[in-house]
Structure 1
Amino acid sequence: MTPEPGSRRGRRNDPDRRDRIIDACLDVIAERGVAGVSHRRVADAAGVPLGSMTYHFDGIDELLHEALSRFSSAVSDRFARRMADAPDPASARDAIVSIVLDDVFGSPRELVLTHELYTLAAREPAYRALTAAWMARSRAALERHFDAETARLLDALIEGLTIHRALDDGDRDPREVARAVARLTAGA
């Protein structure tokens, strides 16, 4: 039997397999937490043979790092785009409110992934490097409209509001985010 063109030994080439595995890893983290990630669970979620895991990744740590790196880059890119699209400080304030209310809380999945990454970063230097790069990009995006000190405080406010809004049992008034941003940037 002659193999199909573009395949090895008659099997169809699957150039997107590695990306599907990384995306599936993020799904497993969102569903079960980092502690629930295993080669078998990720392979099942990606719909790939278990052997693909060790073919594409040296171990579960490499897979976790790549998945959370992809996630943090995507969120950071979205943050930077929002801030770049703001033509003036008033629009930048509105963008910050949207980041807190729409981007972070638009998806329970992203909220869980963010907190799982924070937890890993608290323990593991390799993940701390991811969060440090994420914060640096956030501050740089904020500095398009605000001085460096205000940008740093806004970044901390965004993180803090996100955590408080996620863990608070009661409904929160979305206007409090706009009020907090306005107070912090009043002198900026």
Structure 2
Amino acid sequence: MVTTRNVGNDRKICDGRAAASIVFQDDIEYSKKLLDGASALYSFANDKNKRHSYSCDNSNIARYYNLAGYWDEIIWSVAWMFFASGNVSYLERATEDTVATYAKAFSRIPDLSVLSWDNKLPAAELLLTRLRIFLDPGYTYEGLLRRYHNEADRNMCSYLRQFNVFNWKKKNEKIYFHLKNDINN
């Protein structure tokens, strides 16, 4: 639950509401309500006085999550906010060099190529690639959108065996794969 005392899931709820507003766009009133809620959460998430770690006051998750990794969520949420609202300020935020740098968007760290509960970067890159291909927002945004597109291409190719990024195992007629540097497998 997001409250003024308990922030952290705000961007996750923001992007969910933004995406839902697209799904329910035929119900104009409900779609607007979802988008208004997403906008309010976006503003709340960007209030530096209220931002702190998911793990603040919750020792059960403190060892699994820290605040250093929220930049991928910024890109993910602003991409959805742009798709839902058409407001160019969200696209501008998604294509800021500093946001991409802090998110380590082009670092080629194998772990960052895998979508997970705490890594939205590959999904954000794919969503921005869709934007570049189908909506062509123009020259102003082309540079960084092209880089996101290239990174999404690399991520997709990394799942192919010949690129040797993952270990592949077959067990009980199912194929499993994990990163080669994953010490848990």
Structure with more relative contact order (C-alpha pairs < 8 Å, separation 6 or more): 1
More helix by share: 1
Is the structural similarity TM-score above 0.5?
no
Instruction: Give the greater-gyration-radius structure (CA).
Output: 1
TM-score under structure 1 length normalisation = 0.38
